[in-house]
Amino acid sequence: MSVEYVEKVYNRYSSFYDLIFGKIFHSGREKAPELLQLQPGMQVLDVGIGTGLSLLELPLSCPIIGIDLSQKMLHEAEKRLTKLGRSNVALYKMDATRMLFPDNSFDRVLAAYFISTVPDPVAVVREMKRVCKPQGYLLFLNHFQSENPVLAAVEKLISPLCYRIGFRTDLNLKDLIEDAGLVVDRLERIDFAGNWKAVRCLNIK
Ligand SMILES: C[S@@+](CC[C@H](N)C(=O)[O-])C[C@H]1O[C@@H](n2cnc3c(N)ncnc32)[C@H](O)[C@@H]1O
- For residue 195, pLDDT over 90 is answered with no
Res. 158 pLDDT band, cuts 50 70 90? very high
Average pLDDT over residues 8-32: 95
pLDDT (0 to 100) of residue 194: 73
Domain ranges of the chain: 3-202
pLDDT (0 to 100) of residue 99: 98
Buried/exposed 149-171: b ≥16 CB within 10 Å, e otherwise: eeebeebeeebeeebeebbbbbb
Q: Which residue CA neighbors atom 12 of ligand 1 most closely? A: 48
Percentage of residues of the chain with pLDDT beyond 70: 100
pLDDT (0 to 100) of residue 108: 98
For 112-153, the pLDDT digits (tens) are: 999 999 999 999 999 999 999 999 999 999 999 999 999 999
Please give the distance, rounded to the nearest whole angstrom, from the Cα atom of residue 59 to the centre of ligand 1.
Answer: 21
Which of 2, 24, 100, 117 is the pocket-test mutation for ligand 1 (most atoms within 8 Å of CB)?
117
Superfamily of domain 3-202: Vaccinia Virus protein VP39 (3.40.50.150)
The residue among 163 and 78 whose pLDDT is bigger is 78
Q: Report helix, strand or coil for 83.
A: helix
Percentage of residues of the chain with pLDDT beyond 90: 94
Q: Is 50 in the pocket of ligand 1 (CB under 6 A)?
A: yes
Say how many CA atoms lie within 13 Å of 54 toward its Cβ.
30
pLDDT (0 to 100) of residue 35: 97
Beta bridge partners of 68: 93
Count of beta carbons in the 10 Å neighbourhood of residue 13: 19
Which of 53, 67, 69 is the pocket-test mutation for ligand 1 (most atoms within 8 Å of CB)?
69
Which is the closest atom of ligand 1 to the Cα of 7? 25
DSSP 15: T
Residue 174 to residue 163: CA distance in whole angstroms: 20
- For residue 192, pLDDT over 90 is answered with no
Average pLDDT over residues 33-42: 97
Please give the distance, rounded to the nearest whole angstrom, from the Cα atom of residue 76 to the centre of ligand 1.
Answer: 13
Please give the distance, rounded to the nearest whole angstrom, from the Cα atom of residue 25 to the centre of ligand 1.
Answer: 14
Please give the distance, rounded to the nearest whole angstrom, from the Cα atom of residue 126 to the centre of ligand 1.
Answer: 17
Question: Across all residues in the chain, what is the average pLDDT?
Answer: 95
